[in-house]
Amino acid sequence: MPKNISFQKILFVINPISGDVDKSDLGTVISEYCHQYHLKYKIYKTTGEGDFAKLKQLIKTYDPDAVFAAGGDGTVSLAARAVNHTSLPLGIIPLGSGNGLSKDLGIPQTIEEALALITNHTIKGIDTLELNGHPCFHISDLGFNALVVARYSEAESRGPQTYALIALQEYLNYECHKYRVETDQETFEGDAFMLTITNSNAFGSNVKINPNGIIDDGIFEICLIESFPKMAAFKLMYNLYTETPEDSEYTRILPCKTATIYNYTDTLAQIDGEVVELGRKIEVKLLPKSLRVVVPTEPLT
């Protein structure tokens, strides 16, 4: 990996309302840290209106050494899209409900420790995905979880408890959908509870859907949970939370470099926590090491 590169000018992208984390003191914490290390900085607060175009323009005019996203998966995805395919590295200060990508990258989950990566870090190139042209930096899926994410996005409250309650409510009456998955290695066709596309490991809830995934190996995985009887749900969840999904007869992981997915009965999908309609046919493309991220320095061996 590249050696630590000193950042002297940082752009922070903050979502004031992501997750259930209090951010009232975040500006002060950032200011104190940057003044302590004599760093220049600017803060951009998202509004939900034209953020991507505004952020791209600000990056061009401010010309930072790094962009740090302070928020949840949506904020991270916004900042990642703005710096993807460039030499500008992305830092993450995890302040959302799930913070899945930051956990998989080993980024500290406290503000102070995540900020410390500004002055002590390594730059890591990671693979990213595109689903019908939509960038994905962590996890996308079709089926059950996409439905839960859609309901969660409409909920009045945030946090793991709200997500779990919605998941339980939807599970009771959920019917599996039929898919066809064609990869460069194999083909699957049949009913599935959910279908996850990722080269990462776990959801923000710590469910290890793809425990052996490597985020920079030029391969991604399609993780299938096939139709299963209700009585098997607890055993299946045990396997997912104990990093042993392969021990379940209802799971299948398809490693691949290219894939085409056909939706026969449902077009709802979620990409990095955002609900999208991808249509009946989805082309999945892998972009090797297109995103440079700020991660903890690896210990010497």
Q: Residue ranges per domain, the chain?
A: 9-120, 134-288
Question: Average of pLDDT values for 78-105?
Answer: 92
Residue with the larger pLDDT of the pair 155 and 54: 54
* CB atoms closer than 10 angstroms to residue 242: 11
Selected residue with higher pLDDT from 5 and 94: 94
Cβ-contact 292, 87 below 8 angstroms:
yes
For residue 170 the two structure tokens come to 């939807």
Q: Which CATH class is domain 134-288?
A: mainly beta
| Burial (CB count within 10 angstroms: exposed 0-12, middle 13-18, buried 19+), residue 16 | middle
pLDDT number for residue 299: 47
- Residue written as token pair 């440079």: 292
In the chain, the amino acid numbered 111 is I
pLDDT for the residue 89 = 97
Q: Do residues 192 and 176 lie in contact, with contact meaning Cβ atoms separated by under 8 Å?
A: yes
pLDDT bracket for residue 18 (50, 70, 90): low
Report the half-sphere exposure of 236 (CA within 13 A, side-chain side): 17
Mean pLDDT score, 126-147:
95
Exposure b/e, 271-281, CB count within 10 A at least 16 = b: bbbbbbebeee
pLDDT band at residue 58 under the 50/70/90 scheme: very high
- Residues 179-233 have pLDDT tens digits of 999 999 999 999 999 999 999 988 877 788 888 899 999 999 999 999 988 888 8
pLDDT for 1 beyond 80: no
Q: Report percent pLDDT > 70 for the chain.
A: 95
Give Dmax (Cα) for the chain.
59
At 16, the amino acid letter reads P
pLDDT higher for 6 or 44? 44
Which residues are bridge partners to 106 per DSSP? none
For residue 204, which of 254, 134, 252, 152 has the smallest C-alpha distance?
A: 152
Burial of 29 (0-12, 13-18, 19+ CB in 10 A): middle
Look at strands 9-14 and 66-71 and give their pairing.
Answer: parallel
What CATH number is given for 9-120 in this structure?
3.40.50.10330
In this prediction, residue 131 carries a pLDDT of 97
Residue 282 pairs in a beta bridge with 261
Could you report how far apart the first and last alpha carbons of the chain are, in Å?
14
d(CA 231, CA 272): 30
Which tokens belong to 200?
């990462």
pLDDT of residue 268: 87
Q: Count of H helices and E strands in the chain?
A: 8, 15
- How many CA atoms within 13 Å lie on the side-chain side of 209? 25
Q: How confident is the model at residue 301 (pLDDT cuts 50, 70, 90)?
A: very low
**Report field, pTM of the whole predicted structure over 0.95:** no
What's the CA gap between 276 and 31, in Å, rounded? 36
**Does the pLDDT of residue 276 top 70, yes or no?**
yes
